[in-house]
Each structure stands twice: as C-alpha cells, then as structure tokens.
Structure 1
Amino acid sequence: MKKYLNYLTAALFLSLAVLSSCGGDDSDGDGDGDGDGGINLGEVAELINGDYTATSVTQPGDAGDWDSFVLTISGATASGADYAATGVPAGYEAVWPASGELAFSVAADGSLEITRDGSIDMDATQSSTGADLELSFEVTTGAARTNSVNGTWTFDLEKSAN
C-alpha cells in the first residue's frame, strides 16, 4: 500500500508541476494570443507614426525621381493606420496613391506585413527604434506606363525627427 502512495504522490506532484507551467501567457506579446514569437503590433503602432523620407527607391526599370517623396503615417493602432504620400513623380500614382489606409498583420514567418488600401501586400522591416522602414511590394497595372511601373518596388525610408 505504501508503494502505491508513493506513486500517487509522485503523480500528483508531476500533475501540479505541469499545470502550473500552463496558463494564459501570450509569449509573443502582440495581443492576439497566438504565441508565434513574432512582432508586437502594439509596439509597431507606437513606433510607426511619423514622416518618412525616401533614401532609396529601387525597381527593375525606370524608377523615376523620388528625391522629394515623403510618406506620412498617422493614427496608428495595432490594426492599422492612415497614410499620405507627397512627392510622387508624375505617372507613378499607381505605385503610391496620394492617401489611403494601411492594415498591419503578422506574416507566417513572424515578420511584419502591411496591406495598403486592402489590396497591396507589403513586406515591411522596421528598425527597433522606428527610425528606418523598408517596404517592398509588387505593382501590377494595365496602365499605359506598364514597363515603368510594373514590378517589385522597394522603398528604404528614414523617419524625420519631429
């Protein structure tokens, strides 16, 4: 009988140890409880508001003159933000419309993904300080300037000090 009590005590101890390690810990901190270890969308929202100036714009073909391009992101929450784009070269409005909405999500690999205006998925990399932002996305349009606009665009942006 004493042998069974020892087994019962050991089983009870192990059960308590297992149960105490379980719980409602959201280890990735993004508030969605998926525990994917990815980015925290709340932190993204805190860092992303501001004016971003293009330091580099690449596209396979004629990328146009983006020297005066400024992307302003405002009203950010964990789910999204508003944007306004100025300095877009004439004929490149399909690449960056004057204004719209951004939606934030976590991609399958745990990285930040931004969807512009509900249809353009952008791979995004934000520095830990929020000072730099890289956006990469595909543009496909049937516009007359197809050869100049279509393709993968990458914007390296630097946040202006406010």
Structure 2
Amino acid sequence: MKRLSNLLAALVFASLVIFMSCGGGGDDPAPDPLADDLANLTVSGGWSNPTTVTTDNGTADGVWTTFGISFTGTVDGGTYTVSNVPDGFSDVWADGTWTFGNDNGSVITRVQGGVTTDITASIADGSLTLTFDVTESGARTSGISGEWTFVFN
C-alpha cells in the first residue's frame, strides 16, 4: 500500500511539472519591426556633418558640412530639429514632424511647414541616408527643387 501511495504521489508530481511547463509564451508581444530603426534614427546627439549631400546627381549648392538633424519620438513618430541649414535652403530642411511611412522603416514621412514629403531612408548602425524630392512652390523659383540625398556616417 505504501508503494502505491508513493507511486501515486510521483505521478501527481510529474503531472504538475508537465502542466506547469506547458502554455505561457503567448503572452509575450511580438517584437516591433520598427524598434531597431527607431533606435538607430534617434541616436543620442543626432546626425551631423553629412559626408555627402547631392541634388539631381550633382553636388548640392550651399555649405552643408555642418548641417545636423536630430530625431525624437517613438515608433509612432515624433519631431525632428535641424541646425546649420545654409541660408536660402529652408525649403530643403526646417524643423518639423515625422512618422514611419511603412512597416520596415524604409520610408519616413515628414511634415515641414504644412508640406508632407515621403523620404526614402536607409537606417543602419552608424549610417543614415535620406533621399527625397523638394517640390514646394518657392523651391522651384529659388532653384532648389529636385531630388536631394543626405548621407551621414
């Protein structure tokens, strides 16, 4: 009888161990695919001193060597601030807001002065490339309309 009691206790214990190890797992939320892009985009100190600034496949006018941009926010978007924009180029960059334009971080939608622009973005550890078109009405008359690319390393 004692042997049967020990066997029954062992079976109950084994059953409890099996049931405790089952399930769970479903409570953890799926990782957000934009989390890494956000972390790389919102680096401390922002992005400054672009290594390359081009427009329509040529060297951009103005002195952009000290230009800087800093993004803050969450995966749902936020604000950005710019510094050292050359005189006359506020249609290219001015402070504004941003959101990710797709689920993989390759598009950033900015709103700057009421104008919405989709920016093609390549975001990786230590580098950021932003390409977009400037089409505002004042940009054409000031000669700065067209495609712009900024590369930061």
| TM-score w.r.t. length of structure 2 | 0.67
Taking the TM superposition and a 5 Å limit, the aligned residue runs for 1:103-142 are 103-106=99-102, 110=104, 112-117=106-111, 119-127=116-124, 129=125, 131-142=126-137
Cα deviations by residue, 1:19-59 (Å, 9 ceiling, x for unpaired): xxxx9xx98x43xxxxxxxxx11222222213102111000
Q: Distance in 1 between matches of 2:52 and 2:141?
A: 21
- Structure 2 counterpart SS, 1:149: coil
Tell me, which stretches of 5 or more residues in structure 1 are unaligned?
Answer: 1-22, 31-39
Check 1:144–1:48 CA distance in 2 against 1; reply closer, same or farther (3 A cut): closer
Alpha-carbon deviation of 1:146? 3.0
Q: Rg bigger for which structure?
A: 2
Alpha-carbon deviation of 1:144? 6.6
Check 1:144–1:56 CA distance in 2 against 1; reply closer, same or farther (3 A cut): closer
- Structure 2 counterpart SS, 1:143: helix
Superposition misfits of 4+ residues, deviation over 2 angstroms: 60-63, 144-148
Name the structure 1 match of 2:66: 68
Pair 1:154 & 2:111 matched: no
| TM-score w.r.t. length of structure 1 | 0.64
Alpha-carbon deviation of 1:157? 1.4
Q: Which amino acid aligns with 1:150?
A: S
Alpha-carbon deviation of 1:111? 5.3
Pair 1:100 & 2:96 matched: yes
Of residues 12, 25, 38, the one that matches 1:45 is 38
CA RMSD of aligned residues (A): 2.6
Of residues 70, 84, 87, the one that matches 1:90 is 87
Q: Distance in 2 between matches of 1:143 and 1:105?
A: 25
Contact kept? 1:41, 1:105, Cα under 8 Å: no
- Structure 2 counterpart SS, 1:57: strand
Cα deviations by residue, 1:118-147 (Å, 9 ceiling, x for unpaired): 6110000011x2x11000000012227636
Q: Distance in 1 between matches of 2:139 and 2:121?
A: 28
